[in-house]
């Protein structure tokens, strides 16, 4: 299972391939349609699609003269199960995190202001 996880995670490591998977969430797409939003050659897109296909994340089939790509969501189950093993970590509540950062920033700013004022008073005494 480790080898297949490595292949899937390697395929997911590239932002172009992740974008392709996101596009295929909507529906099957022709290779030319997949390539359209990217500023790279059709050959480069074909290489990305090959990596995704070898990882089992997509399948490609010919329908007439057009090659179509289809997402294979079941291929994401093993990595998902593997990552759930790290579930002992609490999920991050972004609202709480944002409040924490704002409080820390406010505390830092008021502390920095106080420190500057204190250092100026110390300089004036000397």
| pLDDT confidence tier of residue 118, bands split at 50, 70 and 90 | low
- Ranges of H-type helices in 15-93: 15-26, 31-35, 42-54, 77-84
Give percent of the chain above pLDDT 90: 52
Q: Which residue has the higher pLDDT, 46 or 108?
A: 46
| pLDDT confidence tier of residue 90, bands split at 50, 70 and 90 | low
| pLDDT confidence tier of residue 116, bands split at 50, 70 and 90 | very low
Is residue 8 within 8 A of residue 55, CB to CB? The reply is yes
DSSP letters spanning 78-97: HHHHHHHTTTTSPPP-HHHH
**What would the pLDDT profile of 25-84 be if each residue is shown by its tens digit?**
989 999 999 999 999 999 999 999 999 999 999 999 999 999 999 999 899 888 888 888
Helix (H) or strand (E) holding 58: strand 58-63
């Amino acid at each position: 299972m480790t080898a297949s996880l490595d292949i899937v995670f390697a395929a997911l490591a590239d932002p172009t391939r992740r974008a392709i998977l996101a596009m295929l969430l909507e529906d099957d797409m022709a290779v030319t349609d997949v390539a359209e939003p990217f500023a790279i050659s059709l050959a480069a897109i074909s290489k990305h699609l090959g990596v995704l296909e070898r990882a089992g994340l997509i399948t490609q089939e010919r329908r007439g003269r057009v090659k179509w790509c289809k997402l294979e969501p079941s291929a994401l189950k093993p990595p998902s199960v593997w990552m759930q093993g790290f579930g002992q970590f609490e999920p991050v509540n972004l609202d709480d995190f944002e409040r924490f950062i704002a409080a820390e920033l406010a505390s830092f700013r008021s502390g920095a202001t106080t420190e500057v004022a204190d250092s100026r008073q110390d300089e004036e005494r000397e």
